[in-house]
Structure 1
């Protein structure tokens, strides 16, 4: 598979929180470094995502927002 996104982060699926329509998938990239993505339940099932499995987070965005209190 070839993709245009330059930010690909590989890790292990640490948790999947199921919702009615969407699931929150937490990927551990390194010890104590996690990324959480929201994907549809259908995509989660189609990709066969399971806790303990490997996954890539592919990030493609033209801007990133940062905020502070």
Structure 2
């Protein structure tokens, strides 16, 4: 598969937590966790399971910056 998004971050799925309609998928990348909220249908279609390799693909029109 090819995709136009430039922010493709490969990691390992740590957990998949299903809710009523939406799942939270945690992907670990170098010790950092990225959490995606996707539909339960997408989780089932992709057959997502902990330990599986996956990409976090980030496509955003705005990026915010914060400091302490």
Structure 2 length-normalised TM: 0.90
List alignment gaps of at least 5 residues for structure 1: none
Q: Which residue is 2:21 aligned to?
A: 21
Instruction: Give the match's secondary structure for 2:60.
Output: coil
Moved beyond 2 Å, runs of 4+: 65-69
Equivalent residues, number: 68
CA gap 1:4/1:16 in 2 versus in 1, 3 angstroms: same
2:58 maps to 59
Calculate the TM-score normalised by the size of structure 1: 0.89
CA distance in structure 2 between the partners assigned to 1:68 and 1:35 by the alignment: 19
**C-alpha distance in structure 1 between counterparts of 2:65 and 2:39, whole Å:** 25
Q: Distance in 1 between matches of 2:40 and 2:26?
A: 14
Q: CA RMSD in A?
A: 1.5
